[in-house]
Amino acid sequence: MADLHLVKPHPAQILLGAQAGAFALPVCDHYSGVEARMRKSLQLQADMGAEFGACVFDVTLDCEDGAPVGGEAEHAALVTGLALDAAPEARVAVRVHPVDHASFEADVATIAGQAGRRLCHLMVPKVESVEDVCRAVAAMDAAGATDLPLHVLIESPAAVHRAFDIAAHPRVQSLSFGLMDFVSAHGGAIPAEGMGLAGQFAHPLVLRAKMEIASACHAFGKVPSHNVVTEFKDSAALLTAARKAANELGYTRMWSIHPDQIRPILSAFAPSETAVHTAAEIVERAAAADWAPVSFEGRLHDRASYRFYWQVLERAHQTGRTLPAAVAHWFVPAAPAAH
């Protein structure tokens, strides 16, 4: 029998909270609502998972924009079937209608009630307050999906004002920013450029909203998810926007609405090769020192910086980057226990 004293704990056990919070989810959330595209999205997720060795994006099946008017019940049944038929390792979510929509309760009853065990989360749009969150949670619980995480979409000035209270709710896992509705909610006070690639990072009201949402998420260990970029054919511009969201505004996740957007988002949110190797060296030295302080390139590091560099490795793994052999073993799934 192996000497149990020689079995060292996993870094995530030592660096408390290192795997939780802002980096707890894949960095890309891909939306589709048309049946053929939803099926293609699930297949693409499986293909890229095999390519990268990790699930690098979520697939969110869309009821809000995907369901035809009058066909909400049929669309809810469709996405429920797709979720139930998805591969066991697939990460599938559903965006339902807003809590004040006539189909909301039926959406949740059907989708969470029948496929809740297969979903990674439920997305509720146009959340305005904690009361809306509580209503969504009550509907999920009534459907039997008591452990299903909730993602919410912040789309108005009032919702931005309440972002910290919304993020504080224990069932909320992520806040997304709804750029188009946010700009529209200002009645023309924000020009159309505020919805574009450049304007959304320059207009003070839009920029402030993005920062408030990111700050609220980080305050409560939740995932801030950046809005979609509608210019899906301009990969270079999308890459620039994604890098701004990741490096300047503190977002750790971003929406995609076209398959061509997924790889640029992964690239933008992935740490550089230099950052990965630096993180690997520091974490490896830290582990060898049993997490006591160490010196690296003339700088002293302790558990505070170890947490940061461990999160760099986590993000590299989530974005399909190849990890140095010295740390890669920490990211291999544990074998099932023998019976």
Q: What is the pLDDT of residue 54?
A: 84
Query: 206-237 as b/e, with b when 16 or more CB fall inside 10 Å?
Result: bbebbebbbebbbebebbbbbbbbeeeebeeb
pLDDT at 197: 87
259 and 280: one domain? no
Q: Are residues 302 and 160 in the same domain?
A: no
In the chain the first and final C-alpha atoms are separated, in Å, by: 16
Do 232 and 305 fall within a single domain? no
3 state DSSP class of 128:
coil
Residues 283 and 252 in one domain: no
- pLDDT for residue 339: 41
Inside any domain, residue 165: yes
pLDDT of residue 14: 83
Last residue of a domain, one of 227, 247, 269: 269
- Give a yes or no: residue 13 inside a domain: no
- The Cβ of residue 103 has, within 10 Å, a number of other Cβ atoms equal to 20
* Domain with 324 in it: 272-329
- Rounded CA separation 176/216 (Å): 11
Domain count of the chain?
2
Q: Which residues of the chain have pLDDT under 70?
A: 1-7, 16-21, 333-339
Residue 106 and residue 72 in contact, taking contact as beta carbons nearer than 8 Å:
yes
Q: Is residue 338 part of a domain?
A: no
